[in-house]
Structure 1
Amino acid sequence: MARFDVWIMRFEPLDASPAERLEKAFGIDPTSARSLEQSVPKIVKHAVPAKAAGEMRVALEAIGAVVECRPSREVKPVAGSTRRDSAAVFHPPGADLFPAGRVSAIDPFSSAGEPGAPRISVDDAVPPTADADRGAPSEVELPEAPGDSSASPAPAALQQTGVRRAALTLGAGLAILAIGYLLGSSVFRGDADWMGIGFDGLGIYFVGSGGYGLFTSVRS
């Protein structure tokens, strides 16, 4: 959750002094009120949620303070300083600045003099957007099922491809055996050496693989 620091930058001149206005609005003692008046700009709320920062801003602007809400930054201790030196946050008593349920959202960054931009939004329903009026997505927007794709090959085409591959494998095996037989180094001639045996074995493997593939493709 985003958190913000509430700064009092200065006080606008009014009939009453800033210290008197702080005393009356927040009930603080005169010494603390004068100290705050003389030390502006100063953080009066540190690392509070957006709603609390907005409520504090409205309450301070009601007594003539010029307020800024900035994203909160982690306070890093200064070397040699004490805890009392870093006590720069002013906490006015009383947290009920507004009745419960009256404020639903406050923009802490809106300008007080910005025309047409209300500081406080009440509990009104959000108007429907253009996207909300759209119906269910049409069929062309839905993901296409794998079986409905026109690019999927038909079973007949798959069968033809399998038969073609099996026939090529079978033909390659027969060609290997024929070359070995014609060269005179084949087990079928009875005078094969180790190289001829390996060559014939490769041909037999291709013949068997191609024949089995051709049989299963035609049968399916």
Structure 2
Amino acid sequence: MPTEAALLESHALRVERMGRVEALDKVKILVMLPDGIHLRTEDVARYFEVPAVVLKKLVQRHRAEVEENGLRLLRGAELSTFHRDMVSLWGGEGAEGYPQGATQLTLYTRRTVLNVAMLLRDSDIARSVRTHLLDAEKDLRASYVSLDSRVTRIEGCLVGVGSALQELGPVLSRMSHRLDVLDRKLDIIHQAVGAIGLRLTDVSQDISRLDTRMDDLAHRLRNLGHRTNG
């Protein structure tokens, strides 16, 4: 894990952490211009609690790097347009305090301010931002280690599950075969019951016919008895 000194000295390490602009507001609230995007040199100096001249010297020493991370210098027509936009957004009495007489204006973004925080040595605020960046990274690494451990345990469990499934496969196959045999036997029983039902229906019809014939025979015997007695 990199140290604060390494962060101050290594451009590559700063590049890796350049997207972590949330660290700024974790330490101290940034007061932005009305567009919510830019800050002036005096705004950044106020944030880091250093004289503006200290900030200007740092920017001169690391001009290429801070320009890569959003530093802009406005002049001429571009500056006039920016002034008009800011005054329009500022509005009311606040617009009177907006500095429009300057012939040039240096603008910073949150990304630029974070870049400065990783370069500025003599500022407690900058030091706190660097500490927050490194501590957050330490916590993130710890989370990765914990997650890696959990994934490893899950992988170990899955190995056991795979073995269990391999052993269960033949058992399930045998059970499936037995259920198929049972299903065929049930079909045979169902067919037999159906046949018995048909036979019982035939027997019932035979009994009905026999009852009819018996009734007819009894009737004929009674008639014969009457004729004999007469």
**Per residue, is there more strand in 1 or in 2?**
1
Which TM class, normalised by the smaller chain length? 0.3 to 0.5
TM-score w.r.t. length of structure 2: 0.34
Higher relative contact order (CA 8 A, sep 6+): 2
TM norm structure 1: 0.35
* Bigger share in helix: 2
Larger radius of gyration: 2
